[in-house]
Copies of this chain bind each other. A is one copy, B any other.
């Protein structure tokens, strides 16, 4: 099972982190992003969207970090990481959408501007961050984990770009519950860091 990977990508890190926590063996194939290798064959043939990560498991080829987390959890991990009953799985799904949209276009995009010079509207990324962070903080005021009594792939999907928020100039100081949760993720057995986390 191969993950086409970029070390500095929080989206790739979602997958590396979950694989480490769940004990899933993953072969990393680093992609030379700065040279545009993700926009050329063979990577673009695996994912026409030209984005990383891409997972290849035999015949299965998947784009989108959230979809990859779902696949790995269903196929290669203990059920605690993605509840199978409808309400439990939907609770996780809420946070996969949040990771795909609000976190991606908030703290992640802010970091893309500051750290990698992307031509995005920095003020918009900060506005989006300022909306989402109090909601997440309030959600975690009386919960240890985002979507279940235990850690799930929801935590793996949301964690990277919040733990990297400082690299986009987004300050987590006003959000103590969120910071407590970041500490709990970091204390999980098998936790794997990345540069900046």
B-binding residues in A (CB < 8 A): 48-49, 59-60, 62-64, 66-68, 70-71, 74-75, 85-87, 89-91, 93-94, 96-98, 100-101, 104-105, 121, 124, 135, 138-139
Q: A71-B86, A89-B70, A135-B49 are in contact. Are A101 and B105 (CB under 8 A)?
A: yes
Task: Find out whether the CB atom of A97 lies under 8 angstroms from the CB atom of B94.
Answer: no
Instruction: Report the minimal beta-carbon distance from A13 to chain B, rounded to whole angstroms.
Output: 16
The answer to whether A70 and B90 have CB atoms under 8 Å apart is yes
Q: Is the CB–CB distance between A75 and B86 below 8 Å?
A: yes
Q: Is the CB of A71 within 8 A of B49?
A: no
Between-chain CB contacts (< 8 Å), 5 pairs? A48-B138, A48-B139, A64-B93, A100-B101, A101-B104
Secondary structure call for the A interface: helix
| Nearest-Cβ distance from residue A94 to partner chain B, whole angstroms | 4
CB-nearest residue of chain B to A104 = B101
CB distance from A43 to the nearest CB of B (A): 15
- B93 touching A66, Cβ below 8 Å: yes
Residue among B59, B89, B98, B139 making CB contact with A74, cutoff 8 Å: B89
Is the Cβ of A97 less than 8 Å from the Cβ of B138? no
Give every chain B residue within 8 A of A60 (Cβ-Cβ): 86-87, 90
Given A48-B139, A93-B96, A96-B97, output 16 extra A-B contacts at Cβ < 8 Å: A62-B90, A64-B94, A64-B97, A66-B93, A67-B93, A67-B94, A67-B96, A68-B90, A70-B89, A70-B90, A71-B87, A74-B85, A75-B86, A97-B100, A101-B105, A105-B105
